[in-house]
Chains A and B, each alone.
Chain A
Amino acid sequence: MSGADNVVWLGTPAFPEAARTALADRRLRANLRRATGTIRDKRLAATAELDDWEELRETAAALKRRTLRHLDQHLLRLEETVTAAGGTVHWASNAAEANAIVTRLVQATGESEVVKVKSMATQEIGLNEALAEAGVRAYETDLAELIVQLGGDRPSHILVPAIHRSRSEIREIFQRQMGKWGRPAPEGLTDDPRDLAEAARLHLREKFLRAKVAVSGANFAVADTGTVMVVESEGNGRMCLTLPQTLITVMGIEKVLPSFADLDVFLQLLPRSSTGERMNPYTSLWTGVTDGDGPQDFHLVLLDNGRTATLTDEVGRQALSCILCSACLNVCPVYERTGGHAYGSVYPGPIGAVLTPQLVGVENAASLPFASTLCGACYDACPVKIDIPEVLVHLRAKAVEAKRRDRLLPTSEALAMKAAGAVLSSPRLLAALERLAASGARLVARDGRIGVLPGPFARWSGTRDTPAPAREPLRAWWRRTRGEGRTTTEGTGR
């Protein structure tokens, strides 16, 4: 099993096809429009409050980039400090290794169930499925994650995994499924948010009080103190992090920060960017184990799973600065219309389009770097200034290169690009093409408009009229009315 097998969901079609299905889903479209619209406005209001927002972004970006350059040192330091504080550090180079480590640790406790704090890293490695195979049941305790788990569904947003679900759907899932997983939903459950939250609360409370083992991810870990941090809104994470005897944290290696003071910057950026709040309701920090308080056995699993390979790419590695705030998803005009499932990956939206192909190899997610208009809204929203459009075009080049290398080219696109390249590099050929287009257009255009175009361009002309190419292109007009213009050797070159 190559480490990154779970990052992409097998069987999901390439983005354009998956998107087509999503676009036809009326309910999904309405849910997404409402949810992303609300969170956009909230984020803008929350970020506008800080005069030094841009400086904070700069600082965070610089800090992350610098940390990634010396990642090895920070990780070794983290291992030292966590160990000194009574924790145990494990290194996992891929998903299979990480799953094996966690499974072994759970089995050593003799337990057959764990409660989980919402975590992208454990989703990335498919931990729940791996635990299930070993006979261990993993209960998601984040409300949205619970909805996804009970619904036998997949998350469609980093922060709000059930963003594609409406209240009435959630009520229906609770009524149908809760009983199969534990305490059933109360009689006469309505779709009032308060009622739904209460149902989840009762259902989960039973799990919290019984659990001996918890599994979490981490938002940050501090190398100089060995402190690990989880940021959340509900307090369900706090329950998992404090009540059980054993705590196992799976964390991507890029989450380490050099010093405790660095948290200052990120605790300002993260809540404002992700939920549009000044501060998130629950911030849990722990350093190893503390006698008589909280879990007495703490394990930190450091996960590579494609990250070291990503680090070697000078342009692409900035994606590892991501703090998973999901601002880029919320502002993305493509995500807003397709939702997360179309990306076929644990990491959807703009960040997914740049992270997933790097973690799994661009040839295994080749449609994702193209799932963007390059409008740049993501870059402007990103609190750590990841230039997502830059990475997207970089990965597009890599995708084409990979096809060339694997001799999958020439495709019809590659041939067209080659021909276009020749024409567009030569003023003589370009002028000839312009003449040809103008005379061809005269045959098919009506009132200066062309209705139907051939071949792949039918996808364009299905919904748009196209103006006919000009009878006299500018270069011809100029020559006729004003002569050659400047004529240098380059100027008249072929």
Chain B
Amino acid sequence: MRIALFITCFNDMMFPRTGQAVTELLERLGHTVEFPQGQTCCGQMHFNTGYRPETLPMVRRFAAVFAGYDAVVAPSGSCAGMVRDHHRVVAAQYGDAALAEAVEQVVPTVYELSELLVDVLGVTDVGACFPHRVTYHPTCHSLRMLRVGDRPLRLLRAVKGIDLVELPAVESCCGFGGTFALKNADVSNAMLADKMRHVQETGAEFLCAGDNSCLTHIGGGLSRLRTGVATLHLAEILASTEGDGR
């Protein structure tokens, strides 16, 4: 399969390792991965903060850059959700018929990583090995926007050597919410405090999620408090193999 990697602007700049992991993983499974250099951002921050007209060029660019692949994979539940739920809205509100058509074509090919692996490629055991205690935070947009369900957990359970422990109050929001963390910093912190407490209760070494934005928020707090718990994107655990001695 010819798969385009939509790294997302945030991962591109902050977490290239996640993109490399997705690439390694998919190539290991026998697929071709391409990285269209024209890609930028899904427009989520602008859209969710109310700056809708500003997202139009991003929606336009996305539809053009990612046209024609068998699948497009994004290692971010919220960015995949933005494309799937909102690009049509932007195209209809501010675009033209041609853009609406282009968006219609590209949207069904876009998948969050666990969806691509489980639904499209039909694998749950990706041959990974990660001998550590891990807890998983599902992230709200993966859970309630994309409805990825237990796909990420099925993938994690198949990882060799992993000690997967359930996070208490697993479905509650971590309090990130994009610009919410700045606009409502106090509420965001109150939510973060509870999430960190739950993470620590598990005794995990790693907190895993399918979205580095939530992980930056929770991980930032865990780091500030010197808890010793690290955060890691799902892709990086799935890309790990016996030899790499993590």
Name A residues whose Cβ lies closer than 8 Å to a Cβ of B.
15-16, 19-20, 23, 333-334, 337-338, 369-377, 379-380, 389, 393, 396-401, 413-414, 417-418, 420-421, 424-427, 430, 433-434, 437, 449, 456-457, 459-460, 462-467, 469-470, 472-475, 477-479, 482, 484-488, 490-493
> How many whole Å from B156's CB to the nearest CB in chain A?
22
Q: Which residues of A contact B17 (CB under 8 A)?
A: 470
Q: Is B148 an interface residue (CB 8 A)?
A: no
The segment out of B117-125, B168-176, B200-208, B234-242 that lies at the interface is B168-176
- B16 near A477: Cβ-Cβ < 8 Å: yes
- B13 near A434: Cβ-Cβ < 8 Å: yes
Q: If the complex has contacts A421-B46, A472-B16, A477-B16, are A427 and B173 also in contact, measured as CB distance less than 8 A?
A: no
Q: If the complex has contacts A459-B185, A486-B34, are A470 and B40 also in contact, measured as CB distance less than 8 A?
A: no
A-B contact pairs, 11 of them (CB 8 A): A23-B190, A373-B140, A374-B177, A389-B145, A424-B46, A425-B57, A464-B223, A465-B224, A478-B35, A487-B37, A493-B38
- A470 near B16: Cβ-Cβ < 8 Å: yes
Q: Which residues of B contact A492 (CB under 8 A)?
A: 37-38
Cα A469 to Cα B10 in complex, Å, equals 9
Cα A376 to Cα B185 in complex, Å, equals 19
Q: Which residues of B contact A15 (CB under 8 A)?
A: 184
The segment out of B47-55, B108-116, B128-136, B158-166 that lies at the interface is B47-55
| Nearest B residue to A459, CB-CB | B185
- A424 near B40: Cβ-Cβ < 8 Å: yes
Q: Which residues of A contact B67 (CB under 8 A)?
A: 490
> How many whole Å from A380's CB to the nearest CB in chain B?
6
> How many whole Å from B20's CB to the nearest CB in chain A?
7
- Interface positions, chain B 62-78, Cβ under 8 Å from A, are 64-65, 67
Q: If the complex has contacts A400-B50, A485-B37, are A470 and B14 also in contact, measured as CB distance less than 8 A?
A: yes
Q: Which residues of A contact B190 (CB under 8 A)?
A: 23, 337
Cα A202 to Cα B9 in complex, Å, equals 65
Q: Which residues of A contact B181 (CB under 8 A)?
A: 459-460
- A477 near B20: Cβ-Cβ < 8 Å: yes
| Nearest B residue to A451, CB-CB | B224
- B50 near A393: Cβ-Cβ < 8 Å: yes
Q: If the complex has contacts A424-B41, A474-B19, are A464 and B217 also in contact, measured as CB distance less than 8 A?
A: yes
- A371 near B184: Cβ-Cβ < 8 Å: yes
The 7 A-B pairs with the shortest beta carbon distances in the complex, nearest first, are A464-B220, A373-B177, A396-B50, A376-B144, A400-B50, A375-B173, A490-B64
- Interface positions, chain B 1-43, Cβ under 8 Å from A, are 4, 7, 9, 11-17, 19-20, 34-41, 43
